[in-house]
C-alpha cells in the first residue's frame, strides 16, 4: 500500500527563525490569559495503562507504528475538538499574533480546492496536487480572495507547530503528547483500527471526513465534504472527542522517532532533539489506497515550520482532580 505525501509539504518558503517564534510566543503570553471560548471544552480522562501502536502491519515501517506496546498515562484533559477558526481568530485579535504562513506570504493548498481559473503556482515535484498559494494562511484558507468567515466552526488550518504552541501558551494549555493523543483518540477501545471499531463505514454510514473515490483525481464527497468539515461534524468517540480520524492533521508535542523503548513506559514523550514533530489523525485527503494514516495507531511527522491546508491542532492540559471520572477499569502503574 502506498503511503504518499497527502500528509503534507515538508516546508514553506521563507526564513522566519526560531527566535522569531519565541518572541511571538512571548508577546502572545504577555497579552494575558483569556477567558476561553465556551466551545473550547476540555474532557477529563482518567489515564492508566493502554496498548499503544499496532502490530497489524497496515502502515509503513518507517512510520514506527509498531510494535504494540504498553503505556501508562497520568490523568489529563483533552479538547473535545480541534481548535476552530473562531477560537484562533480570538487569539489573533487579543495578541496580534502573525502566523508563519502570513509572515512568508504563502502556504500549500490542495489543487482540487482552487478555482479552475486560479493562476499557475508552484507544485511539489512528487505531489503536484499541493500548490504553493500566495496569500494562503489561516484566515484565507485558499489564498487571496478566500475567507475563514462562513467556516467559523471548522478547524483552523495553515498553522505550523510553532503557531499551535503559541495559541496553547496564550490559552494556558498545551499540545498533547503523542501517547495522550492516541489514548484519547481510541475512546476506550483497545486494538481497534478506528475509534468506533474496525469498519470504515459501519452500517454504511460515513463517520469521518476522508477521501472517497480515486486520489487525487476524483473525490466523490460521499461524506458530504470536499475540504474541511466542522470540528464536531461527526459523532464523538467513547470519550466524547470529535474527528480524531480524518478532517485535519493534529500537531503533537513529541519529536518523531520510528523506534520505541521496550517495556512499560510511563507518560512518554518523544525526543526534543528530533527535527520533525509528530502529527496524528490524518485528514480529508487520506484514502486507504494511498495514505491509510487516518487510523488511531497511524502516525506521521513534519517540520514544525510546515503549513498546509490540512494542518491543525487540538489542545490538552493537566488534570483537575475534582473533574476526574471514576473508572474502575483504570490500571495503576506497577
> Which tens digit of pLDDT belongs to each residue from 269-297?
987 778 999 999 999 999 988 889 999 99
Mean pLDDT of 212-233: 96
CATH number of the domain located at residue range(s) 5-30+40-319 in this protein: 3.90.1580.10
At residue 328, the pLDDT reads 45
Of the pLDDT bands very low, low, confident and very high (cuts 50, 70, 90), residue 334 is: very low
The CA-atom distances, in angstroms, between 60 and each of 1, 93, 192, 295 are: 8, 41, 18, 13
Q: CA Rg, the chain, in Å? A: 19
Of the pLDDT bands very low, low, confident and very high (cuts 50, 70, 90), residue 3 is: very low
Determine which of 29-33, 51-55, 174-178, 188-192 has the lowest per-residue pLDDT on average. 29-33
Q: In the chain, where are the structural domains located?
A: 5-30+40-319
Of the pLDDT bands very low, low, confident and very high (cuts 50, 70, 90), residue 135 is: very high
At residue 288, the pLDDT reads 87
Position with higher pLDDT, 168 vs 39: 168
Position with higher pLDDT, 86 vs 8: 86
Please state, in angstroms and rounded to a whole number, the distance separating the CA atoms of residues 188 and 236.
12
pTM, to two decimals = 0.91
Q: What is the pLDDT of residues 322-331, one digit of tens each?
A: 765 555 445 4
Mean predicted lDDT score pLDDT of the chain: 89
Angle at 82 between CA 276 and CA 165, to 5 degrees: 45
pLDDT at 317 over 50: yes
At residue 4, the pLDDT reads 46
Longest dimension (CA), the chain: 62
Q: What is the pLDDT of residues 12-49, one digit of tens each?
A: 555 454 545 444 554 555 555 566 776 899 999 999 99
At residue 290, the pLDDT reads 81
Angle at 39 between CA 253 and CA 304, to 5 degrees: 20
Would you say 296 and 245 are in contact if contact means Cβ atoms under 8 Å apart? yes
Position with higher pLDDT, 125 vs 210: 210
The CA-atom distances, in angstroms, between 274 and each of 14, 157, 269, 277, 302 are: 21, 23, 12, 7, 11
pLDDT at 193 over 80: yes
At residue 2, the pLDDT reads 40
At residue 155, the pLDDT reads 98
Amino acid at each position: 500500500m502506498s503511503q504518499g505525501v497527502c500528509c503534507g509539504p515538508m516546508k514553506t518558503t521563507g526564513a522566519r527563525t526560531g527566535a522569531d517564534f519565541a518572541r511571538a510566543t512571548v508577546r502572545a503570553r504577555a497579552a494575558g490569559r483569556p477567558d476561553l471560548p465556551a466551545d473550547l471544552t476540555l474532557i477529563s480522562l482518567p489515564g492508566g495503562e493502554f496498548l499503544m501502536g499496532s502490530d497489524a502491519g497496515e502502515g509503513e515501517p518507517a512510520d514506527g507504528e509498531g510494535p504494540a506496546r504498553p503505556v501508562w498515562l497520568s490523568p489529563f484533559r483533552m479538547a473535545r475538538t480541534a481548535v476552530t477558526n473562531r477560537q484562533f481568530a480570538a487569539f489573533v485579535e487579543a495578541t496580534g499574533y502573525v502566523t508563519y504562513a502570513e509572515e512568508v506570504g504563502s502556504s500549500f493548498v490542495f489543487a482540487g480546492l482552487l478555482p479552475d481559473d486560479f493562476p499557475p503556482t508552484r507544485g511539489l515535484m512528487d505531489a503536484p496536487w499541493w500548490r504553493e498559494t500566495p496569500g494562503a494562511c489561516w484566515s484565507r484558507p485558499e489564498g487571496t480572495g478566500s475567507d475563514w468567515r462562513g467556516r467559523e466552526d471548522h478547524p483552523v488550518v495553515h498553522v505550523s507547530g510553532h503557531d499551535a504552541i503559541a495559541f496553547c501558551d496564550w490559552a494556558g494549555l498545551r499540545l498533547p503528547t503523542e501517547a495522550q493523543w492516541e489514548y484519547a483518540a481510541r475512546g476506550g477501545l483497545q486494538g481497534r483500527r478506528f475509534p468506533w471499531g474496525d469498519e470504515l463505514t459501519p452500517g454504511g454510514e460515513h463517520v469521518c471526513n476522508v477521501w472517497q473515490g480515486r486520489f487525487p483525481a476524483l473525490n466523490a464527497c460521499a461524506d458530504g465534504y470536499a475540504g474541511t468539515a466542522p470540528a464536531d461534524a461527526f459523532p464523538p468517540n467513547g470519550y466524547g472527542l470529535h474527528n480524531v480520524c480524518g478532517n485535519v492533521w493534529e500537531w503533537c508535542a513529541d519529536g518523531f522517532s520510528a523506534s520505541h523503548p521496550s517495556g512499560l513506559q510511563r507518560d512518554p514523550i518523544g525526543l526534543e532533539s528530533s527535527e520533525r514533530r509528530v502529527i496524528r489523525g490524518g485528514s480529508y485527503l487520506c484514502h486507504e489506497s494511498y495514505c491509510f494514516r487516518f487510523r488511531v495507531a497511524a502516525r506521521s511527522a513534519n517540520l514544525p515550520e510546515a503549513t498546509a491546508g490540512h494542518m491543525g491542532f487540538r489542545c490538552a492540559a493537566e488534570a483537575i482532580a475534582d473533574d476526574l471520572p471514576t473508572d474502575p477499569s483504570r490500571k495503576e502503574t506497577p
